[in-house]
Amino acid sequence: MKTPLPSSSSFSVLRKTPLSPYLFTLIAFIVFVSVLYGEDFMRHFGQLQLNPDRPFSRTEKKWGKLPFAIGRTEEGCDIFSGRWVWDELNRPLYEESECPYIQPQLTCQEHGRPDKEYQYWRWQPHRCSLPGFNATLMLETLRGKRMMFVGDSLNRGQYVSMVCLLHRLIPEHAKSMETFDSLTVFTTKEYNATIEFYWAPFLLESNSDNAVIHRISDRIVRKGSINKHGRHWKGVDIMVFNTYLWWMTGLKMKILKGSFDDDDKETVEVTIEDAYRMAMRSTLRWVRKNMDPKKTRIFFTSMSPTHAKSIDWGGEEGKNCYNETTLIEDPTYWGSDSRKSIMKVIGEVFSQSKFPITFLNITQLSSYRKDAHTSIYKKQWSPLTEEQLANPVSYADCVHWCLPGLQDTWNELLFTKLLYP
C-alpha cells in the first residue's frame, strides 16, 4: 500500500521547521567543499567520462608538492596539447653515431634511411613552452637514485633515449651498461646512480616474459602475479611503467588462474579491457604497498600509436608508414590501432589511486608522427625473402621509432613532469 503524500499544509509546516545546529553545520561544510573543490571535481569528471584521451588532470593539485619537483608548470598549460614545429637549430638532441647504446632495431641512419627530416621536429605546447631538457640537472636529480623503465620494447626505446640524452656528460671510465636476463642497467659511478630497464610486457607474469625469446601468438597472463616481476622493482626512486602493445592480440585475452608450472593449466577468456583493468589494479596495489609517496615518483606512459594502415590518414589502401616523410596535420587525428576504450580504463582505475601517478599522455602527439618509425631501416633478424624485398610495405616496422627522434620528446615531457609537475 502506498503511503499518502503529505498535503501542501504539511510541506508548509516542514519548511517552517528550524534547522538543527548540527544539520546547519553539515550543510555549510558541504557548500564549502563544493566551492573549494568543485572545479577540480568537474575537471576530473569531464576528463574521465567525456574525454577518454585525457584521463588525468594535474597531479599536484590532488597530492600537493611531489618528490623531485623544483617548480611548477604554469597554470593552464597542458604540455601534451600542442603542435610539431620545425627546429633545425635545436634538433636533434644528439647524433645517432654518438650513442653506442641504441639497439640496431632503432638505428635508422646506420641501416640506410635516406632522409633525416624526422629528427628536426620539436614539440610545442599551445599555451606554454617546455623548459628544455637539461642533462646536467637530470643527472643531479638522479644522484644516489635508481630510475627504472618497466614494460615492453617501446619502453626500452624510451629508456635508451634517456641514456643517450645523458651519457655524453659522463666520462667513459665512469659509466657502463650490463644486462641480467630481464634487467638492463646503465650505471654512472660519478653520480652513484642507475637508469634501468626491466622487460615485463604485461607487467603481470605471462608466457612472454623471456626478454629474448618472446614471440608467442597465444599469449597468456597470470592473474594476481605482479610480485613475480615486482620483487625486482623494490627500492626504485623513479618508475616509468608502460604496457599496451602486447595486449592488442584481438578482442579477448587468456587469463591463467593457477601457475605456469601446473600440468593442467586452467585459463579463462575475458575482454581485453577487463584483462587490462586487472593488470592496472594489480600494479596500483603493488605501488601502494611497496613505494613511498614522499620519496618516490611513479609515471605511466600511455599507448604508443602505430601507423600500419595508411587509409587511417587518407592514404592509399594497403600501405603503411613505409616511405612516409611528412606529418599528419589533422589535429583531431586518432589512429584505428589506438583503442580509446583502453584510455578510458586507465582513467577509471588511476582516478581511484591512493598513490600519486603522473600520466605521460604521449598518444595524441605521437599519432601525428607517421614519419618517425623505423620502417625498413633497422636490423632484420631473419633473412628477407624475395617477395618481401619486392614489397617493402610487407616488412616495414610501423611500431618502433628511430633514435634520435620522437622518443626523445617523450623524455622531455617526462623531465618536465618530474621537475615541474
CA 124 to chain centre: 19
Contact criterion met (CB below 8 Å) for 392 and 385: no
CA 280 to chain centre: 12
397 is catalytic: yes
153 is catalytic: yes
3-state secondary structure of 295: coil
* Closest by CA position to 269, among listed 215, 227, 221: 221
Among 53, 57, 152, 153, the active-site one is: 153
> Which residues make beta-bridge pairs with 405?
none
Contact criterion met (CB below 8 Å) for 155 and 242: yes
C-alpha cell at 355: 598513490
Among 237, 371, 397, 408, the active-site one is: 397
Please calculate the CA angle 328-332-336 and round it to the nearest 5 degrees.
Answer: 75
What contacts 127, CB < 8 A, 6 or more positions away?
74, 76, 77, 78
Q: Which residue has the cell 641504441?
A: 102
C-alpha cell at 34: 563544493
DSSP string, 86-115: E-TTT--SS-GGG-TTS-TTT-TTTTT---
CA distances from 141 to 63, 274, 412 (A): 21, 37, 15
Q: How many angstroms separate the first and last alpha carbons of the chain?
A: 59
Among 44, 229, 307, 400, the active-site one is: 400
CA distances from 165 to 95, 102, 169, 403, 419 (A): 10, 11, 9, 11, 16
For 18-79, list the strands marked E by DSSP: none
> What is the distance between the alpha carbons of residues 373 and 77, in angstroms, rounded to a whole number?
28
Tell the burial category of 36 from Cβ atoms under 10 Å away from its Cβ (0-12, 13-18, 19+): exposed
> Looking at the annotation, which residues are catalytic?
153, 397, 400
